[in-house]
Amino acid sequence: MEGRLSRRLIRFFRDDRVLRIAGQSAFVLAAAVFVAWLVGNLNDALDARGLTLSFSFLQRTAGFAITQGPGMARTESFWRAYQVGVLNSLNVVLAGLVLTTLIGLLAGVALLSPNWLLRNTVRVYVEVMRNTPLLVQLFFIYFGVVLTLPSLQDRIELGPLILSQRGVWVPRPVPQPGFAVWAMLSAVAVVVAGLIYTRRQRRRRRTGEVTRPALWAGAVLIGVPLAAWLVLPHAPLTLENPTLEGLRMVGGLRLAPEYFALLVGLVLYTGAFIADIVRAGILAVPHGQREAARSLGLSETSVMRLVVLPQSMRVVIPPLINQYLNLAKNSSLAIGIGYLDLYAISQIIFNQSGQAVQVIALLMATYLTLSLLISMLMNWVNRRMATPGR
């Protein structure tokens, strides 16, 4: 009886499933002990300096003002300063994602252009941007370009765009009476256009019928806001152009020199990487697809727009996600040219409060959340673009 029990115990402890569970449990226990030891040491070190792990310091008066972005007064709290930093970073990142996608797409297509001058000019741009550090480029754009622009009195006017050392001014949209109604109808048009596009796409895949989803969705998306604009007694939105009054600009939307330099640097740098990704995606489309499209009488522009680019997106999107994440994280280099983004303001809060652990943890959590949101959205787009399995 004892021999049979011992053999069962031996078989039990030699079972692969038991060994895996035991190994994982031992690892988790060791990790928990190590983390507890680290936290204990950290608490001891903070107690010796009269500090704690509490985040209550964020409610204390900051004692410094921020003029960039939403801005804040000296009498507001550290938490308000941190919120301003988040908003300033989001302002750069969101605008950068849109602009760098456009630049990268155009440059990627131009890399395969039959025009020798255009192709090689874009190739030089891509190689220069990819092979020089981003921080060096930001220094060059800010100190060598933006700060060398003329003063407001000698400003450069490119239509509605005004360039000077003190910033860049563009027309500012100003809502008028009836804007809320027009915006609501436009939002409804976006939803309806999306539903129409999806349903007609499914119908085309199911029956093979020519349903023209983009045409019908575009008609709703453009027609409804345009009709509402024409029906309303006054234009729901007007543009306020900047004008010079004395020694300052009045009206319009001002882009601070630091913000403008950072945005241009991020867009040009990331756009160079996206351009090579787009070029590789286009080359990954089988050549027979182009030949078949040309045999139908499509022009080269139509072949690229209707056949090549939609198929190349399945190759382009996965590496594109990495470049979007790089742009979001590279925005922290704004501190090099004096733009008060999330990282720069976090450093000021750390210097003022001395709460290094909490500030760094909060900073890491914010960047992690931003990166995960971008990744989740792009992964959803990637799944939508993926080729259905058979």
**pTM flag (> 0.85):** no
The CATH number for 100's domain is 1.10.3720.10
Domain identity same for 90 and 159: yes
Domain identity same for 27 and 124: no
Domain identity same for 233 and 287: no
Looking up tokens 């008609």 gives: 219
Quick one: pLDDT at residue 390? 42
Burial 8-41 (b: 16+ CB within 10 A, else e): eeeeeeeeeeeeeeeeeeeeeeeeeeeeeeeeee
Quick one: pLDDT at residue 98? 93
Quick one: pLDDT at residue 86? 93
Closest of 371, 381, 289, 301 to residue 114, by C-alpha = 301
In a domain, 229, yes or no: yes
In a domain, 71, yes or no: no
Quick one: pLDDT at residue 7? 66
Give the Cβ contact number of residue 168 at 10 Å.
25
In a domain, 204, yes or no: yes
In a domain, 66, yes or no: no
Quick one: pLDDT at residue 247? 75
Domain boundary at 214, 240, 266, which? Answer: 240
Domain identity same for 259 and 278: yes
Asked whether 282 and 309 are in contact (CB, 8 A), the reply is yes
In terms of Cβ atoms closer than 10 Å to its own Cβ (0-12, 13-18, 19+), residue 372 is exposed
Full pLDDT tens readout for the chain, 390 residues: 555 666 666 666 666 777 788 778 888 898 888 888 887 887 777 677 666 677 888 888 888 888 888 888 888 999 999 999 999 999 999 999 999 999 999 999 899 888 889 889 999 999 999 999 999 999 999 999 998 988 888 888 887 888 888 888 888 888 888 888 888 988 988 898 888 888 887 887 777 777 778 888 888 888 888 888 888 888 888 888 888 877 788 888 888 899 999 999 999 999 999 999 999 888 888 888 878 877 877 777 777 777 887 888 888 888 899 999 999 999 999 988 989 899 999 999 988 887 888 888 899 999 999 999 999 998 888 887 765 544
In a domain, 164, yes or no: yes
Domain identity same for 11 and 88: no
Quick one: pLDDT at residue 9? 64
Quick one: pLDDT at residue 371? 92
In a domain, 73, yes or no: no
Distances (CA, A) of 333 to 6, 262, 342: 64, 8, 10
Q: Which residues pair with 167 in a beta bridge?
A: 164
Q: Give the C-alpha separation, 100 to 106, whole Å.
A: 10
Residue 187 is which amino acid?
A: A
In a domain, 55, yes or no: no
Q: Give the C-alpha separation, 175 to 225, whole Å.
A: 15
3-class SS of residue 354: coil
Quick one: pLDDT at residue 389? 47
Q: Give the C-alpha separation, 46 to 353, whole Å.
A: 13
| Sheet with 156-158, edge to edge strand ranges | 156-158, 161-164, 167-170, 253-255
Q: Name residues whose C-beta falls within 8 Å of residue 345's C-beta, 6 or more positions apart in sequence.
A: 66, 81, 82, 84, 85, 88
Quick one: pLDDT at residue 260? 92
Quick one: pLDDT at residue 14? 66
Asked whether 124 and 238 are in contact (CB, 8 A), the reply is no
Q: Give the C-alpha separation, 71 to 73, whole Å.
A: 7
Domain identity same for 19 and 161: no
Domain identity same for 223 and 350: no
In a domain, 165, yes or no: yes
> What six digits make up the tokens of 33?
């002990």
Q: Name residues whose C-beta falls within 8 Å of residue 124's C-beta, 6 or more positions apart in sequence.
A: none
Closest of 371, 349, 367 to residue 359, by C-alpha = 349
Q: Which domain holds residue 192?
A: 173-240
For the chain, the domain total comes to 3
Give the Cβ contact number of residue 148 at 10 Å.
9
